[in-house]
Each structure stands twice: as C-alpha cells, then as structure tokens.
Amino acid sequence: MDCRNLDDVYELFLLGLLKPKEAAEVREHVERGCAYCVDHLREAAQSVYFVLSGAKPRKPPQPAKSEILRSLRRT
C-alpha cells in the first residue's frame, strides 16, 4: 500500500465511512507501524475531533434515520 494514496482517506477511516475491505487495508498498514501514516492519522484524528466537537446534536430526518439503521443491520 502506497502511503500517498492514503492521504485522502484518514478522516473517512476514523469516521467509519470506508468500505470494510478498504478500512481493513488501512488498519493493517497502520498496525505495521508506518510512521508517515501514524503521524497523519493523528492529525486527522485531531481534525475530526475539532469538527465534531463544534457540531450541535441533531436528529436525522426519518428517511435518513431509517437508511442509517438499515445499513447498520447489514454490517
């Protein structure tokens, strides 16, 4: 796995938005101790934290809520 290809997916990985196969590849790569990716994953974690900490909790509209629940049942 080429680290430069991961630069655009760290945040998606942390938010659980990657397909299972992609997420597994990122996880395995990072667990091997790639210093570049570990550093960038830390930066992404900070970005995700700051973005989410400023968000106000909201209820999703019913169609979105139903779709979210269906997708959770599939995984």
Query: The tokens of 14 are what?
Result: 């942390």
Over 90: is that where the pLDDT of 44 sits? Answer: yes
pLDDT digits (tens, 9 = 90+) for 15-40: 999 999 999 999 999 999 889 999 99
Enumerate residues 6+ apart whose C-beta is below 8 A from 61. none
Q: Helices in 1-75 by DSSP H: which ranges? A: 10-14, 20-31, 35-53, 62-74
- 11/1: higher pLDDT: 11
For 69, the domain range is 3-74
Residue 48: is it exposed, middle or buried by C-beta count within 10 angstroms (0-12/13-18/19+)?
middle
For residue 1, the model assigns a pLDDT of: 58
Whether 73 shows a pLDDT value over 90: the answer reads no
Task: Residue 40: give its domain's CATH number.
Answer: 1.10.10
Q: Supply the pLDDT for residue 23.
A: 92
Averaged confidence pLDDT in the chain: 86
| pTM for the predicted model, two decimal places | 0.68
Classified as helix, coil or strand, 7 is coil
Q: State how many domains the chain has.
A: 1
Distance CA 28, CA 72 (A): 23
